[in-house]
Chains A and B, each alone.
Chain A
């Protein structure tokens, strides 16, 4: 990997001057500026606003207190995902506060004329899975949600970022936000991935190089031949985790793969409108002479299957490597390493291969799309999980679930002893019923390995769906390449 700083002198609040090329980010950004406050932020117009039950209630309360209504309800889409159980979804939610939140979402959406895909609806699912699969997420848009993984939608060449509840209220009230233009970074991944290495490994690799704060203050464009070669699902996995580098958002220029994915989806443009939109989308790329504040380039061939050993997503290593020691890392990072390893009960310098696993979680807005499930199914077909491992597969949406059943993937999982559950955030965040017990090790395809993220005291190792599936079969951290034909 090599990095280079190119300090551009352009004031980040002013439009690019004639003469220099424009980045993808800037093309979208400038088209959405309503006005710029002198010596302050810009008023950014928001095209799409996704909401869910956890971060919206206080925003609705705020609106109601002011006696105002949602300004553009047709640009808002709601779903219930964080609090929902992933078994017996036809029954009332057992846990009272969660049930009340989901009920409040229903009341609020009804009152404000917002389309809601809650439990029981054929479109229900994790907010960052359903937006793209319904064709609501489109290139060139500005998209927000009261959820940090909104960065996922950037895979379509959109500016998409997570916001807090006060900002949710602002978008409800005015369809706008006050934002300062971030700095721009481009990360190029060139070349071909090795067998057994998938997009999750790319992003965990980048994180291990630039750390969990390496992109704070930046919008990150992912580019290069290895990114171009990825499917939309795989691109979403990468943009999803751009927030784990601290980035304001992550984005990828749309191309034929993108257009093909969107075409024909329920909310995709149709007929003449499609042709018009398509023509506009084709101009969404960074010009050859566009300048970035920072550029990083990576060779795809240097990436091996990745896994995390610590308590932030930047603490990852290649699966064949040993956990770092205080001697091998920067002095400033030593106390962090010791604290993390104490929580994880892992040893400095030890191999991660062979680490015993208790739970396998394949799901979350990072890796719960049909392609992820297919990848796992293809790998586990004819295999059986290790006896003392609990394996949860949680599809990202009702549509993913339906497709998995249609393709017979559910059968493969059953035969492997995997537990295919119903859509939701599930064990990604230790909020609903699906929690990993204290002290247990979980290899997870989600995006955060923070202390207690999957349940108080739970120990998370982040990895790709393939690496997670390999551990499900052997019961220990395994190099999936040794099990590939």
Chain B
């Protein structure tokens, strides 16, 4: 897993709530046996016309050249539904390292963290504040400090005085893993003897 400390980047806004993992990556693209190449089909059915799968939908943010960056900002309850980790793989493969929302589904949150993607949960108001910013605005995410800051907006959020910031929660263990790029599996493998001991006692 790739470590993550700070990210400063523009963002891609998808102001839709309850984005489920079937939208992030439709089931018909889950047939691969490797983790690569899913970015191509990220948000496939929202990105391309239904009757012509090669024709991008002009009104979808991923197809609008003014939006770019490593940060996806989405409406609340992001990643609900299917447990497919392919959703995290496709976001990562496309180039996203951070997803900002006001609420995340459980399994998605775990899958994201296990792939070096940071889910940043902010309040509904702060989320709306970000959505109100223009496309040149950059967001700064500092994992060590657990903060997210709006910077460089040409069109400052109302009442925000040109900038705004918030802090976010992350479990200390997961934070350490992400800061250093450690995987859970390495830790679990390191305690195999304790696991065997547990099995002996419980059986």
Q: Which residues of A contact B (CB under 8 A)?
A: 31, 34-35, 37, 39-41, 43, 45, 54-55, 57-58, 61-62, 68, 71, 82-83, 97-98, 100-101, 104, 146-148, 162-167, 169-170, 173-178, 180, 182, 212-213, 216-217, 246, 248, 312, 332, 335-336, 339, 429-431, 438, 448, 450-453, 456-457
Question: In which size bucket is the chain B interface?
Answer: 35 or more
Q: Report chain B residues within 8 Å CB of A39.
A: 171-173
How many Å from the CB of B101 to the closest CB on chain A?
A: 11
Known: A35-B194, A170-B185. A451 touches B23 (CB 8 A): yes
CB distance from A221 to the nearest CB of B (A): 17
Chain B residue at smallest Cβ distance from A428: B27
- Taking CB as reference atom, which chain A residue is nearest B111? A164
Contact of A438 among B35, B50, B82, B110 (CB under 8 A): B50
> What residue of chain B has the Cβ atom nearest to residue A447's Cβ?
B81
Known: A104-B33, A213-B103. A451 touches B76 (CB 8 A): no
Residues of the B chain whose Cβ atoms lie less than 8 Å from the Cβ of A170: 184-185, 188
When the two chains form their complex, are residues A98 and B34 in contact, meaning their CB atoms are under 8 A apart? no
How far, in Å, is B51 (CB) from chain A's closest CB?
Answer: 8
Most buried by A among B20, B76, B88: B20
B18 is an interface residue with CB less than 8 A from chain A:
yes
CA distance A107 to B77 in the complex (A): 38
B178-195 interface with A by 8 A CB criterion: 183-185, 187-189, 191-192, 194-195
Report the number of A-B residue pairs with Cβ-Cβ less than 8 Å.
Answer: 177
- Pick the contact of B30 from A45, A54, A448 — CB < 8 Å? A54
With contacts A34-B191, A35-B191, A452-B23 taken as known, whether A97 is within 8 angstroms of B107 at the C-beta atoms is no
CB distance from B117 to the nearest CB of A (A): 12
A336 adjacent to B22 (CB under 8 Å): no
What is the distance, in angstroms, from B176's C-beta to the closest C-beta of chain A?
8
Residues of A within 8 Å of B183, CB to CB, are 166
Given contacts A162-B107, A166-B184, contact A173 B198 (CB under 8 A): no
B31, B83, B88, B103 interface centre (most CB from chain A within 10 Å): B83
* B76, B188, B192, B198 interface centre (most CB from chain A within 10 Å): B188
Q: Determine if A216 and B77 form an interchain contact, defined as CB atoms under 8 angstroms apart.
A: yes
Q: Known contacts being A164-B88, A246-B80, is A430 close to B195, with CB within 8 Å?
A: no
- The reply to whether the CB of B40 lies closer than 8 angstroms to some CB of chain A is no
Given the complex, which residues of B lie within 8 Å of A452, measured CB to CB? 22-23, 26, 45
Q: How far is it, in angstroms, between the C-alpha of A62 and the C-alpha of B189 when the chains are bound?
A: 13
User: Is there an interface contact between A212 and B114, defined as CB atoms closer than 8 Å?
Assistant: no
- Which residues of the partner chain A approach B77 to less than 8 Å between Cβ atoms? 212-213, 216, 246
A58 lies within 8 A of B33 (CB): yes
Whether the Cβ atoms of A101 and B76 lie closer than 8 Å is: no
Contact partner of A312 (CB less than 8 A), chosen from B20, B173, B194, B199, is: B20
Q: Within the complex, what minimum Cβ distance (angstroms) separates B179 from chain A?
A: 14
Q: Which of B28, B77, B115, B202 has the most CB of A within 10 A?
A: B28
The B32-63 residues at the A interface (CB cut-off 8 A) are 32-35, 45, 50
**Which residues does chain A contribute within 8 Å of B26, judged by CB atoms?**
430, 452, 456
Residue ID in chain B nearest A165 by CB atoms: B85
Indicate if the CB atoms of B85 and A216 lie closer than 8 Å. no
A residues less than 8 Å from B185 (CB atoms): 62, 166, 169-170, 173-174
Interchain CB contact under 8 A, A148 and B192: no
16 A-B residue pairs with Cβ-Cβ distance under 8 Å, sorted by A, are A45-B199, A58-B35, A61-B33, A82-B27, A98-B31, A148-B82, A162-B83, A174-B191, A212-B18, A213-B77, A213-B103, A335-B17, A431-B27, A431-B31, A450-B23, A452-B22
Contacts of B184 in A (CB 8 A): 166-167, 170, 177-178
**CA gap between A248 and B83 in the complex, in Å:** 11
> B165: shortest Cβ distance to chain A, in Å?
24
Residues of chain A lying within 8 A (CB to CB) of residue B202: 31, 45
**Chain A min CB distance to B81 (Å):** 6
Residue contact A429 to B27, C-beta cutoff 8 Å = yes
| Residues on B with beta carbons closer than 8 Å to the beta carbon of A166 | 85, 111, 114-115, 183-185
**Judging by beta carbons under 8 Å apart, are B173 and A37 in contact?**
yes
- Cβ contact within 8 Å between B114 and A167: yes
B135 at the interface (CB under 8 A from A): no
Complex Cα gap A175–B192 (Å): 9
Instruction: Specify the chain A residue showing the minimal Cβ separation from B187.
Output: A178
Cα(A170)–Cα(B73), bound, Å: 30
Contact B105 A213 (CB under 8 A): yes
B3 surroundings in chain A (CB, below 8 A): none
Residues of chain A with a CB closer than 8 A to B45's CB: 451-452, 456
Which of chain B's residues 115-143 have a Cβ closer than 8 Å to chain A?
Answer: 115, 124
Interface residue B84 (Cβ < 8 Å from any Cβ of A): yes
Partner of A448, one of B81, B124, B189: B81
